[in-house]
Amino acid sequence: MRVPALVLLALVASPALADESPAAFSAVPIPEGQVAMATAAVDGLVADVLRRTGVPGMAVAVVEDGKVLLARGYGVRVVGKPDPVDPATVFQLASVSKSVAATVVATEVAAGRVAWDTPMATLLPWFALSDPRASALLTVGDLFAHRSGLPDHAGDRLEDLGFDRHAVLERLRLLPLDGFRDSYAYTNFGLTAAAEGVATAAGKDWATLSDEAIYQPLGMTHTSSRFADYMAEADRAIPHMRRDGAWAPLAQRDPDAQSPAGGVSSSAEDMAKWMTLVLGEDGAAGAPRIASAALMPALTPQSVSGPPEAAVDRPGFYGYGFNVGVSGSGRTLFGHSGAFYLGAATCFYLVPSARTGIVVLSNAQPIGAVEAVAIAFTDLVQFGRVTRDWLDTLTPLFAHLSAPVGRLAGARPPAAPEPAAPDAAYLGSYANDYFGPAEVTGKQGGGLVLTLGPGRVAYSLEHWTGDTFAFEPRGENAPDGSRSAVSFVRDGDKAAAMTVELYDEDGLGTFRR
């Protein structure tokens, strides 16, 4: 899911900078005890957001100086049941997985097995971009910084159709590119490709590497990069979607195909250990640390993710898997948000100059609720007060995540449509290099069905006008109310091709008979 720009560009800095460094100087001091005051306010912040949104459950952890100041659950794991959320309740992290993945890569960088600038061609020779010159130069860091030139959310539609990780990554070579290293476009599968390359260099699959490099050494006993492990957890938060003003468990997202970018599951307790690692503080006895030289590149600006629109605007940056920015106090911050439309919203925010951070996990589709809690906490840490009503501020910015897609969404069918050809004109098999085969078959009693992908995703086609039909997509990237068009091109009495508008974002949506 796409996360609003305000959230994406809000956050990052180096924990290595001391307060006396000119580059770390803030004219807004943090008095002793202010982090404790902010932590004491968390219960009230969460209660207010849950009351106003109805979000079923949240879990929060706060760390400072390597100590866990708070780890607490609120609400329930699933609506209609009494099971409470607790600090060990496991949530799907969605795109917070990207930051976790960056720390896994940093351990491999520290071990000397890879570098952030290792060429992908040496790690995954079968992976390529559409431009051979870009492919030859492409590095692990380019993909973790979203500066490869791949289009926004490249490959996500393939995942929706049931393609596995390898099949999606192979097909990315067919996508048009924007400027290599001079453009920013957020992708799940670009970062996943880089992670696959690092895992290959380590001689392990990504989930095993993550477990051995980070989760086991930190004692993150309820954290995994495998969907099956999340589903096996007894203390598991169930995803919820909002329908007609009420929250309900309606769908379950399986993100294994993009696990490095969105497939981690974890608890507030475990994420507290991870935040301590990123902040460079000493955690539990024997807990590992990552060499600063390996992790620092991930925590520093690598791409301009939020170019200023006015001279007074602060720009936003992306490191390697982390959002990077400067707050109104002049302090550098870093963090990330995660969002599944099908029912997960998460975030973490770190204030390294205060050696503190917060993670907020929820079992509800993204509406800005977790960010409202976390940003209010960082306000209290930096200013001693909450600077605005963050839920009111963020709610409209998150509305697009639930907005229907497709040019026919919300449109009324033509009052006097042009007639379609007989169903037989459209029936048959079609092919597309990127999206694979498609079939148009008939329904008993008349009408057409479009079936796509290895997942055999089937859509009922309803006549719109002439050779254009409508269908209602569903899933992670097609919110309720979405309606897209299928436009056939006939050669005589048979259709020669069809363009599926939903899949034509990059000009690759035409299937030929």
CATH of the domain at 502: 2.40.128.600
> What is the predicted pLDDT for the residue at 447?
94
Q: Which of 180, 168, 106 is nearest to 143 (CA)?
A: 180
Which domain does 179 fall in, by range?
5-402
Last residue of a domain, one of 402, 436, 452: 402
Residue type, 30: I
Last residue of a domain, one of 367, 402, 437: 402
Residues 182 and 152 in one domain: yes
> What is the predicted pLDDT for the residue at 444?
87
Residues 288 and 215 in one domain: yes
Q: Which of 263, 215, 211, 265 is nearest to 238 (CA)?
A: 265
**232 inside domain:** yes
> What is the predicted pLDDT for the residue at 1?
57
Q: Which of 105, 1, 4 is nearest to 375 (CA)?
A: 4
CB-based burial, 1-28: b 16+ in 10 Å, e otherwise: bbbbebbbbbbbbbbebeeeeeebebee
Kind plus residue range of the DSSP H or E element containing 348: strand 344-351
> What is the predicted pLDDT for the residue at 15?
39
**416 inside domain:** no
> What is the predicted pLDDT for the residue at 283?
78
**318 inside domain:** yes
Residues 284 and 432 in one domain: no
Residue 320's SS3 state is coil
**96 inside domain:** yes
Residues 239 and 377 in one domain: yes
Last residue of a domain, one of 402, 435, 465: 402
Q: Which of 337, 511, 354 is nearest to 439 (CA)?
A: 511
Q: Are 199 and 192 in contact (CB under 8 A)?
A: no
Q: Are 168 and 155 in contact (CB under 8 A)?
A: yes
> What is the predicted pLDDT for the residue at 25?
83
Residues 22 and 146 in one domain: yes
Residues 127 and 266 in one domain: yes
Residues 83 and 185 in one domain: yes
Domains identified in the chain, total number: 2
Residues 386 and 495 in one domain: no
Residues 12 and 128 in one domain: yes
**407 inside domain:** no
Residues 428 and 390 in one domain: no
> What is the predicted pLDDT for the residue at 287?
78
In the predicted model, residues of the chain with pLDDT beneath 50 are 4-19
Residues 222 and 342 in one domain: yes
Residues 452 and 372 in one domain: no
> What is the predicted pLDDT for the residue at 281?
85
Q: What is the CATH number of the domain that holds 36?
A: 3.40.710.10
